[in-house]
Structure 1
Amino acid sequence: MTAPKPSALPAYIAVTAAYWAFMLSDGALRMLVLLAFHERGFSPVQLAYLFLLYELAGVITNLSAGWLAARFGLTRTLYAGLILQVGALLALTALDPAWSIGASVAYVMAVQGASGVAKDLAKMSSKSAVKLLAPEGAGLLKWVSWLTGSKNAVKGLGFLLGAGLLALYGYNTALLGMAAILALILVALLFFMPDGLPKGNKATKFSTVISRDKNINRLSAARVFLFGARDVWFVVGIPVYFYAVLSDGSDESRRAAFFMIGTFMAVWIILYGAVQAMAPRILRKGANDLGRLSASARQWALALVPIPALLAITVSTAGAPAPWLTVTLVLGLLVFGAIFAVNSALHSYLILAFSKSERVSQDVGFYYMANAAGRLLGTGLSGLAYQWGGVEACLMVASGLLALSAVAANRLNRSKA
């Protein structure tokens, strides 16, 4: 794999290390909040509400983060993300169990909104840095795939970490521990972050965040539906379904359910990250051909469409939960994750390939705004679909969203690419 220039390598390592730490805490926090509040009696729709502002904040943040980075510099936006995440973790410890469900939902939504801003500031900063620090062409595809894949593997470990910390140490202790670790990383970065990232240009106007490139807009539309299709079952449907199947209400079965759900979510994300890292080899035939990679985006989206539909039919015909059904869902969703990972890695490469170096932070911010919009769509639909028709409804909605993603990807202008 072609390395960045030696002068850029320290900055690349620093950005990657900070991003890994951030994603570990982000995955852990997501699992902590989901399982802790499901235990407190929140309905599937209320659980979805806890993440809605988190995703909405991501939409707004990504729309403005590209401008913020272009104006104030990528290093400052990375620092801001870490500071906000530490604050969000500490704020969640202030939640009083005596509050009503309505007050708890409102408070956690607000704090999750701040966490959503933090995550997307860090992600936009890191992905933009890759475009500026890594080599072009096939080398760019490899470095993007590696960063994205390793990030998702770390986030997958975060899901397992969050479930384990909740089971072993409880809600508040887990949050305080994660806040302390992130604060130490922030202090280390403040002292040791090398030069190498753009410092910003205060003359940059906010209007530049809106992309006028048709390829970027079409790719962003495909991203909305792709991530909506994942989160419609991932956020609420599958964790709540597995908790109902695996726990009988006793303390021992609850702890076991936490670990099993956390393990599944972690394995899914780690597999997703591992396949993303291998995407250049999977896409080897067209790794140096931007037009061919643009054309393959539709094919990879279509390959996903039947998987959730077949799983939904299986759940519906089974009639009741059973061990074989749980195993089928796990295996089917792991296959989904592998194909989904190639789609995601391909998109992540295409957005950087289509972007111009002089406005990379704006284009990447706009694209990840679409990514966050997809997660927002999927999160809202996850609670509603599960409340209406269980996990099979979540899976059928996912299949429909994937078909829309394929339609949007099919409109990429391959001759221009």
Structure 2
Amino acid sequence: MHVISSLSPQVRQYLLITANYWAFTLTDGALRMLVVLYFHDLGYTPLQIAMLFLFYEIFGVITNLVGGWLGARLGLNRTMNIGLALQVIALAMLLVPTALLTVPWVMAAQALSGIAKDLNKMSAKSAIKLLVPANAQGALYKWVALLTGSKNALKGIGFFLGGALLALLGFRVAVLVMALGLTAVWLLSLIFLKKDLGRARAKSRFRDIFSKSRAVNVLAAARLFLFASRDVWFVVALPVFLASQFQWDHWQVGGFLALWVIGYGAVQAMAPGITGAAGKQADQFPSGDSAVRWATVLALIPALIAIALYAGFHPAISLLGGLLLFGILFAINSALHSYLIVSYAREDGVSMDVGFYYMANAMGRLLGTVLSGWVYQAAGLQACLWISSAFLALAAALSLLLPEHHVSPDGG
């Protein structure tokens, strides 16, 4: 409380940034569920529905790479507001008559939504670095964990919101309501968000989008494999397995995964307390060895689930129980990484380091998504789980190269 009371202007900006991020995340999760359910009702095949989100992931990679440079050149307030505006446009594109909702049109709308999402996320994560003093690392860890955890919890709530709005209002009215609500948030952000937040003092060159910091580069590589390890079995393989092997209907699968995401977000927000790194002593902050330990433990979970499924040991209990344990440990790993990138990033031009890092995050999601469908179709869920475990072992091995202690604010 003492830290918060001494930073009242910064806290006000943090709350505004968080509110922007929350509002965006609700519409992002709701839009995904709306698109999946509505186009399923229109008779689209699962492959066609999956293709609707392909550009969403691809443009996430591009946006994170370029968005950090834009944030340093324009200021994080502008990149965040651009992200909100693009999401409003993406929603508006879906208000055309049903006959015009072709696959290319919806893919274009999803591409805009993917750009908007990563501009918004990069801006929010980068801004926290500038709102917390360099000597308040405990507060930084807690603020980053709260922002990241609440975002994921709200994304799960957004899944429910999308289904409810579709049932109560229909597709077009639901999209219109979300577009109007997000427009109001965008206008408030234009008025109240601090101008030039995060603009680099030195002129940023485009070639500088690739980080020169060894710690940032190593952490980005570890992040790629961390998120590929989740999505290689979570995105396609798990829902299909639950539907085909456990005979769950779409609402059971969607509801369970939404609850998993909400719980995952809640654990992320509590990560500083779980890891015991919320204190004020320098050696209590997460460091490279923290990332190694937690990734190593997490790597065991998919392997144990695969062994249990191979042995036929209570498949439902093994899979669902293992998934819950995986979610808890993965949330802690993700929260540690989110803190470390903000801690390692340069203060002048922070968005460039953060953008580069989340570009690796998006590449991991894309790699995992593609492998999830391909490997599951070729070899089944157990193969996906073994690949997940191998990716986590790679993430842990890469983390051995991270600094053992906190890096100075200039990224040195």
User: If the length of structure 1 is used for normalisation, what is the TM-score?
Assistant: 0.87
Secondary structure of the residue aligned to 1:358 is: coil
After TM superposition, give the deviation of residue 416 of structure 1 in Å.
Answer: 8.2
After TM superposition, give the deviation of residue 218 of structure 1 in Å.
Answer: 0.6
**Among candidates 318, 338, 348, match of residue 348 of structure 1:** 338
Distance 1:178 1:397, change over 3 A: farther
- 2:294, 2:329 within 8 Å by CA — same for their partners in 1? yes
Secondary structure of the residue aligned to 1:271 is: helix
- 2:288, 2:405 within 8 Å by CA — same for their partners in 1? no
Partner of 2:288: 294
Unaligned runs of 5+ in 1: 249-253
- 2:138, 2:285 within 8 Å by CA — same for their partners in 1? no
Distance 1:378 1:107, change over 3 A: farther
After TM superposition, give the deviation of residue 26 of structure 1 in Å.
Answer: 1.2
Partner of 1:213: 213
Q: Distance in 1 between matches of 2:358 and 2:23?
A: 20
Partner of 1:251: none
**Among candidates 254, 258, 269, match of residue 261 of structure 2:** 269
Secondary structure of the residue aligned to 1:8 is: helix
User: If the length of structure 2 is used for normalisation, what is the TM-score?
Assistant: 0.88
After TM superposition, give the deviation of residue 345 of structure 1 in Å.
Answer: 0.7
Deviations 1:316-343 (A, max 9, x none): 5549xxxx64454333212111100110
**Among candidates 304, 314, 329, match of residue 298 of structure 2:** 304
Unaligned runs of 5+ in 2: 408-412
Q: Distance in 2 between matches of 1:47 and 1:392?
A: 25
Q: Report the AA paired with residue 369 of structure 2.
A: T
Q: Distance in 1 between matches of 2:369 and 2:92?
A: 24
Q: Distance in 2 between matches of 1:95 and 1:384?
A: 34
Partner of 2:183: 183
Q: Show the 5 A alignment for 1:10-29.
A: 10-29=12-31
**Among candidates 386, 389, 394, match of residue 399 of structure 1:** 389
Deviations 1:46-97 (A, max 9, x none): 4443322211111111111111111111111111101111111222343746
User: Any runs of at least 4 consecutive aligned residues in structure 1 with deviations exceeding 6 A, and if so which?
Assistant: none
Distance 1:401 1:168, change over 3 A: farther
After TM superposition, give the deviation of residue 45 of structure 1 in Å.
Answer: 4.7
Q: Distance in 1 between matches of 2:143 and 2:355?
A: 19
Q: Distance in 2 between matches of 1:318 and 1:98?
A: 48
Partner of 2:158: 158
Q: Distance in 1 between matches of 2:53 and 2:398?
A: 26
Secondary structure of the residue aligned to 1:414 is: coil
Secondary structure of the residue aligned to 1:305 is: helix
- 1:44, 1:384 within 8 Å by CA — same for their partners in 2? no
Partner of 1:116: 114
After TM superposition, give the deviation of residue 273 of structure 1 in Å.
Answer: 1.4
After TM superposition, give the deviation of residue 11 of structure 1 in Å.
Answer: 1.5
Q: Distance in 2 between matches of 1:293 and 1:50?
A: 39
After TM superposition, give the deviation of residue 109 of structure 1 in Å.
Answer: 2.7
**Among candidates 401, 404, 409, match of residue 414 of structure 1:** 404
Residue identity over aligned pairs, in percent, reads: 49
Q: Distance in 1 between matches of 2:262 and 2:120?
A: 20
Q: Report the AA paired with residue 131 of structure 1.
A: K
Greater mean alpha carbon deviation, residues 338-347 or residues 402-411: 402-411
- 1:44, 1:236 within 8 Å by CA — same for their partners in 2? no
Q: Distance in 1 between matches of 2:276 and 2:25?
A: 28
Q: Distance in 1 between matches of 2:214 and 2:305?
A: 35
- 1:276, 1:345 within 8 Å by CA — same for their partners in 2? yes
- 2:277, 2:284 within 8 Å by CA — same for their partners in 1? no
Partner of 1:81: 83
